[in-house]
Amino acid sequence: MYEVIFEIPVKQKRLEELDSLLADPDIWKNQAKTREIQSEKVHLDEALQRWDKVSSLWDDLQVLVELAREDEGAVLADIKDTMARLEERLNAIEKAQVLSGRDDAKNTFLEIHAGAGGLEAQDWAEMLLRMYLRWAEKNGFEARIIDILADDEAGIKSATIEVEGQWAFGYLKGETGVHRLVRISPFDSNSRRHTSFASVMVTPEVDQNIDIHIDDKDLRIDTYRASGHGGQHINKTDSAVRITHLPSGIVVQCQNERSQHKNKAFAMKLLASKLYDLEEIKQKERMNEFHKEKKEIAWGSQIRSYILQPYQMAKDHRTDLDVGNVEAVLDGDISDFIDAYLLMNATRGKGNGKGN
């Protein structure tokens, strides 16, 4: 049964097809295509190896069950141990099945932009930034802010963080969209309830082997003085870097490092990620005639609401999952939302368009 659920026969057949493709000398003339095939082959090999370990443990369990009919006490501990290891292996396969997108295993960039609403929206954007940093910390990921545009009064207008670790993009890809906060405003002297919006965009970090050509003549590079909340850490030199990719209109910037050279390197890496993501979208649009338009993030299409007043609840509008402890959610406990989104996509047999 599990063999069918995890599509083992399909994976075996596909692996045979890839081996046949790699046996063709002509395929090696196209390095980009060869790397793509080799990458898929590695993932399939790993999946089938995981299944072989499950099959071996299953066979061991059958032998132990037979022995238990003669002397249960002698093998009971072995049965429990084998069942625990079998469950662990099955869970690992299930995780790999859910996180099966081509980019899911990669590091990721996560951008946050405050919506309209001044200090309210900026404060909300900073709350989201803390939420994702806390989630990364709690789940063993390395997260670092590579760009932030803070406001002198409160909050941030935008921020970009890099999240490093296995499956970083796979876990966070579903966070792309508009996030809505309802609360009594700390900036309203009349203590009225306000609704604030911020958008999140998640893109995979580009593998250095992927062919993303960036021509210097297509770039406009500006330097400026890094901004912040103030104090001793303000940079006194024009070390921050903003890069505009003229053909696409994509703008990236980095001001976290003291060195202009390092800021430029990070900005170029982020630009490559965005161009890769843009190319992925273009390819999917060409392949699927029904997807004529790229879906834009709109302020009326929130994916999740965080309500602090008049009651407390965080609700994901795609999966209908709601959590009553909003404070814990804002402290980084968003794994339930992430898992529910991944399970929904796995059940439907499709992803969000970036990781599959």
pLDDT at 299: 56
Separation in Å, CA 42 to CA 15, 106, 142, 171, 199: 9, 14, 25, 21, 35
CB 239 within 8 A of CB 223: yes
pLDDT at 349: 58
pLDDT at 137: 96
pTM score, two decimals? 0.63
Report the b/e string of 138-167 with b at 16+ CB within 10 A.
ebebebeebbbbbbeeebbbbbbbbbebeb
118: region left, alpha or beta (phi > 0 left; psi from -120 to 50 alpha): left
- Would you state the structure tokens that stand for residue 213, as one six-digit string? 């050509």
* C-alpha span between 136 and 333 (Å, rounded): 10
Match 């500006």 to its residue by tokens: 222
CB 58 within 8 A of CB 104: no
pLDDT at 122: 94
CB 352 within 8 A of CB 176: yes
- Residue ranges and CATH numbers for the domains of the chain are 2-98 (1.20.58), 105-356 (3.30.70.1660)
pLDDT at 295: 44
- Would you state the structure tokens that stand for residue 61, as one six-digit string? 């369990």
Concatenate the DSSP letters of all residues of 196-226 into one string. Answer: EEEEEEEEEPPPTTS-----GGGEEEEEE--
User: Within the chain, which residues score under 70 in pLDDT?
Assistant: 1-7, 92, 94-97, 100, 207-212, 227-237, 282-300, 348-356
Long-range CB contacts (within 8 A, 24+) of 50-53: 50/89, 50/92, 50/93, 50/96, 51/3, 51/6, 51/8, 51/93, 53/89
Report the b/e string of 216-248 with b at 16+ CB within 10 A.
eeeeeeeeeebbeeeeeeebeeebbbbbbbeee
User: Which residue in 288, 296, 261 sits closest to 176, CA to CA?
Assistant: 296
